[in-house]
């Protein structure tokens, strides 16, 4: 029998919609509740304590909708708050770091893996830990790219300046230092083409795909691939910027509701 | 008799320290309470309702210290929340928009004034209104520069990429369109040298100076220019990034305390 309860997804803002998008494409019959904490975005430059508190509040909000599982689509939250959330909630909680790390381990041939993300994600060393747990002999190189999110939110995607910023950050990986690069922030898939041009031949790992696979595994494949499900999107601050980027990611218009979680 | 009560200053984050700096240089004998809402920064991309709520909470925090006056050092808050704050609090509340506008009106010779700021500040039209209230025949040209704050926070000040970003934003003012440019965000004075190179001959108006003058006027000059006052700095999220930039702005180390205002 189908479990009609929705899947809950939260992110610090709009980036997690890239995860919702993959879920929807794959399992259109499922119901989804998305929450974006746009009133307090970004998380990636804030302290651990604050990120944990925000993540708890977001999960409590999703819990009200009787979700069957919580996806932490934010890499910063996944890096810092996942253990606390797993302990505090009765439904399975899935982050994006473990699936992304698994994919990187499977993909790399040279054993040299790069990770890019926010300052908080890189500082937490979460990807390094998850990767080395599975493959202790790999080399992991991490680099924070704090300007990628504001550049994407400004809409400068295929852009000369974004290219220069990416070249500066990614020069850390030059000369074949890595053969695999984990896009450790849900915004970054929007820069795939720019990053791909700079790091030619490097395999880019987008955690969204792997996170959806991990969810299917945890739910024992009990996911609706054919029906017509319902998506509800909530944010803590409704603004035009969110609507514009949401449309860009989801490739169609959605109705969004503002709520308070504080 | 000297009024020993501190002056309260709040900002969405670290930028308002440029205002505190001018206050300290001018009136070292005064006591100051600074609050930076670093857990929820930035404000400039958020909605009016959210900015008003945050500004109220910040002012209530300052009120607990029995401040004699509140300075809203954040341009976004000054643009959107000042009227509400003036109504709700019993001490004088001074924003940065009116002083900045007054200065621009005094300085311009051609009558063409530019304003740069966050998206929310520009959208509010606050500078336009304040300038035209005083000089209805001036021409006001406004341009949001959302990447300036992240670039400054990344520490890319005298930088080739920052120069390119600035050139793109400021091309709006090229060919002598304006003779005066208001730096309508407390972070922007850190980019004075970059902006000055691109808009040669244009007078840059930094609201901090004018805001301090306005405060002195409201307090009838009753400010201590010679003593040794106390500065207390609070933030809603304590992180290294804040400490680094605070040191850059204040030109010395300060002790910072984390508090919750939610």
Tell me if residue B145 is catalytic: no
pLDDT at B242: 85
Verify whether the Cβ–Cβ distance A151 to B151 is below 8 Å.
no
pLDDT at B116: 98
Four-CA torsion B112, B118, B121, B123, nearest 10 degrees: 80
**Interface residues of chain A, partner chain B, Cβ below 8 Å:** 38-40, 45-47, 50, 119, 146-147, 150-151, 153-154, 160-161, 164-165, 168, 236-239, 241, 262
Query: Do the domains spanning A7-95+210-258 and A97-208 agree at the CATH topology level?
Result: yes
**A147 to chain B: which residues are within 8 Å by CB?**
147, 150-151, 154
Verify whether the Cβ–Cβ distance A237 to B150 is below 8 Å.
no
Confidence of residue B31 (pLDDT cuts 50, 70, 90): very high
Tell me if residue B74 is catalytic: yes
pLDDT at A2: 83
State the DSSP H helix or E strand holding residue A115, giving kind and residue range, or none if neither: strand A112-117
Task: Compute the distance between CA of residue A137 and CA of residue A174 in angstroms, rounded to an integer.
Answer: 21
Determine the CATH number of domain A97-208: 3.40.50.1860
pLDDT at A90: 96
**A164 to chain B: which residues are within 8 Å by CB?**
160-161, 164
3-class state of residue A261 by DSSP = coil
Residue B101: C-alpha distances to residues A96, B22, B108, B132, B224 (Å)? 47, 18, 11, 9, 26
**In this structure, are residues B28 and B92 in contact, taking their beta carbons and an 8 Å threshold?**
no
Determine the CATH number of domain B97-207: 3.40.50.1860
Instruction: Report whether pLDDT(B252) > 80.
Output: no
Q: What predicted TM-score, i.e. pTM, was given to this entire model?
A: 0.90
3-class state of residue A32 by DSSP = strand
CB-CB neighbours of B239 under 10 Å:
21
Strand partners of residue B184: B117
Mean pLDDT of B153-167: 94
pLDDT digits (tens, 9 = 90+) for A52-98: 999 999 999 999 999 999 999 999 999 999 999 999 999 999 999 99
pLDDT digits (tens, 9 = 90+) for B103-141: 999 999 999 999 999 999 999 999 999 999 999 999 999
Task: Compute the distance between CA of residue A100 and CA of residue A205 in angstroms, rounded to an integer.
Answer: 7
Work out the percent of chain A whose per-residue pLDDT is above 90: 84
The residue among A157, A164, A165, A187 with the most chain B CBs within 10 A of its CB, best to mutate, is: A165
**B165 to chain A: which residues are within 8 Å by CB?**
161
Q: Where are the domains of chain B?
A: 7-95+210-258, 97-207
Least confident segment among A77-86, A236-245, B86-95: A236-245
pLDDT digits (tens, 9 = 90+) for B197-209: 999 999 999 989 8
In the CATH hierarchy, which fold is given to the domain comprising A7-95+210-258? Rossmann fold (3.40.50)
Verify whether the Cβ–Cβ distance B47 to A241 is below 8 Å.
no
User: Measured at the alpha carbon of residue A160, what is the angle toward residues A178 and A164, in degrees to the nearest 5?
Assistant: 40
For β-strands B32-36 and B231-235, DSSP reports them as: parallel
What is the interface pTM, i.e. ipTM, of the complex? 0.88
């Amino acid at each position: 029998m189908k479990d009609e309860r929705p899947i809950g997804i939260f992110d610090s803002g709009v980036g997690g919609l890239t995860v919702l998008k993959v879920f929807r494409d794959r399992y259109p019959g499922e119901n989804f509740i998305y929450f974006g904490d746009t009133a307090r975005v970004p998380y990636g430059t804030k302290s651990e304590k604050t990120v944990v508190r925000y993540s708890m509040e977001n999960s409590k909000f999703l819990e009200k909708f009787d979700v069957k599982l919580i996806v932490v689509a934010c890499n910063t939250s996944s890096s810092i708050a996942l253990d606390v959330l797993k302990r505090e909630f009765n439904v399975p909680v899935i982050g994006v770091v473990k699936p992304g790390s698994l994919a990187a381990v499977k993909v790399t041939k040279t054993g040299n893996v790069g990770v890019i993300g926010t300052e908080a994600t890189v500082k937490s060393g979460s990807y390094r830990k998850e990767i080395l747990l599975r493959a202790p002999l790999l080399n992991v190189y991490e680099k924070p790219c704090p300007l990628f999110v504001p550049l994407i939110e400004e809409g400068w995607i295929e852009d000369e300046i974004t290219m220069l910023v990416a070249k500066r950050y990614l020069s850390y990986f030059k000369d074949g230092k890595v053969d695999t690069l984990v896009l450790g922030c849900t915004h970054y898939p929007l820069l795939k083409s720019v990053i791909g041009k700079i790091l030619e031949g490097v395999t880019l790992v987008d955690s969204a795909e792997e996170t959806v696979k991990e969810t299917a595994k945890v739910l024992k494949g009990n996911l609706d691939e054919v029906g017509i499900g319902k998506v509800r999107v909530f944010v803590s601050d409704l603004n035009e910027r969110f609507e514009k980027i949401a449309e860009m990611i989801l490739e169609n218009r959605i109705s969004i509701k503002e709520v308070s979680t504080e």
